Amino acid sequence: MLSSFRVFAVIFVIYCMEFRIRYAGMELTPSISDYVEKKLQREEKYLAPSSTAEINLSVEGYRQTAEIIIHSGRKTIVAEETSEKIYHSIDQVLDKLEKQLSRRKKRRDKKR
């Protein structure tokens, strides 16, 4: 059913990190893109400046899904959450992503 939606992409650059927002089944408003940009800035402390992020937002009925894919060096980190509100999905997926990045950083620092 998702194939019947048009998928759009918006590309932003936050400081040194580039990110792209893709959305399907919804209209991307400036408030959503600003919200994602603001929330994603807190994750930059864990990432290399050359990192890229793909944010996929989709709506299918009452299911609103946010997925983030981070490419940092040779590593790829993926987090996905679904809820009834897109802002709630974004918050949850960013919390999940922060936990993954924090764990990765602790493991990396432990090896040094």
Alpha carbons 67 and 31: distance in angstroms, whole number: 18
Superfamily for the 2-111 domain: Ribosome hibernation promotion factor-like (3.30.160.100)
Q: Is the pLDDT of residue 41 over 60?
A: yes
Higher pLDDT, 63 or 107: 63
Q: Is the pLDDT of residue 40 over 70?
A: yes
Q: What is the mean pLDDT of residues 63-87?
A: 92
How many CA atoms lie within 13 Å of 3's alpha carbon, on the beta-carbon side? 0
Residue 50 has phi, psi (to 5 degrees) of -85, 5
Strand locations in 15-96, DSSP E? 17-24, 52-60, 63-72, 75-83
Quote the mean pLDDT of the chain: 83
Higher pLDDT, 35 or 106: 35
Structure pTM? 0.79
Burial of 20 (0-12, 13-18, 19+ CB in 10 A): middle
Q: What is the mean pLDDT of residues 34-63?
A: 87
